[in-house]
Amino acid sequence: MRSFGLTLFLGALLVGCATDSGSAQAALTPAHATAMTDSARATLTSWREAINALDADRVAAHYLADSTFRWLEDGVVRYRHPLEVANAIRELAGTIQRTELLLDGTVLTPLAPGVVAVTTGFAQKVEDREGRVGGFAGAISAILVHREDGWVFQLGHTSSGAVPSTGGPDPR
């Protein structure tokens, strides 16, 4: 009997959450949803350009600077603060001369006012200091939240695989 009561409670909780989620999405007018996706898409472009420029500070500015930020890579939490991202970019900039990140099939889904889900494929070509070219390709899923200064990543996950070095396919 106790498990039946727990099941009813959990069922009611799920229905309540579904209703709240639906009302949050219903609060978005089509114009608001379009404005959100347009501005979030511009943020993704800015982020990609900052990565391609190997500009650590510009890249880090695209991530939420609070305790809720997480970025995972291939199932492992890699970064918990934008400064960790900036340091990783600085280290990378010391070993490569060029990178090119491309996004493909990007889908932006407004979830609630100020919250957008992102899913996209990506390919990143990397050229090291000796001129060897390699790269990665995979998928990114993320949550962007809108703050005073614009959209920032609150949560993200990249899953990828290496693309063979020079002589292999171009990761584009």
Looking at residue 21, what is its pLDDT?
A: 45
Looking at residue 24, what is its pLDDT?
A: 52
Q: Which positions of the chain have pLDDT values less than 70?
A: 1-26, 163-172
Which pTM was predicted?
0.79
Residue 125 Cα distances to 28, 40, 75, 111, 122, angstroms: 38, 24, 22, 32, 10
Residue 5: inside a domain: no
Domains identified in the chain, total number: 1
Looking at residue 6, what is its pLDDT?
A: 34
Q: How does pLDDT run across 133-161, given as a tens digit for each residue?
A: 999 999 999 999 999 999 999 999 999 98
User: In whole angstroms, what is the distance from residue 65 CA to residue 8 CA?
Assistant: 39
Looking at residue 93, what is its pLDDT?
A: 86
Residue 12: inside a domain: no
Looking at residue 56, what is its pLDDT?
A: 96
Residue 46: inside a domain: yes
36 sits in which H/E element: helix 30-52
* Amino acid letter, 9: F
Looking at residue 8, what is its pLDDT?
A: 33
* Reduced DSSP (H G I as helix, E B as strand, rest coil) percent helix, strand, coil of the chain, to 5: 40, 40, 20
- Cβ neighbors of 63 (< 8 A, separation 6 or more) are 69, 71, 79, 81, 82, 85, 152, 153
Residue 9: inside a domain: no
Residue 7: inside a domain: no
Q: What residues pair up with 116 in beta bridges, in sequence order?
A: 110, 144
Looking at residue 163, what is its pLDDT?
A: 66
Domain harbouring 92, CATH code:
3.10.450.50
Residue 58: inside a domain: yes
Looking at residue 170, what is its pLDDT?
A: 44
Looking at residue 140, what is its pLDDT?
A: 97
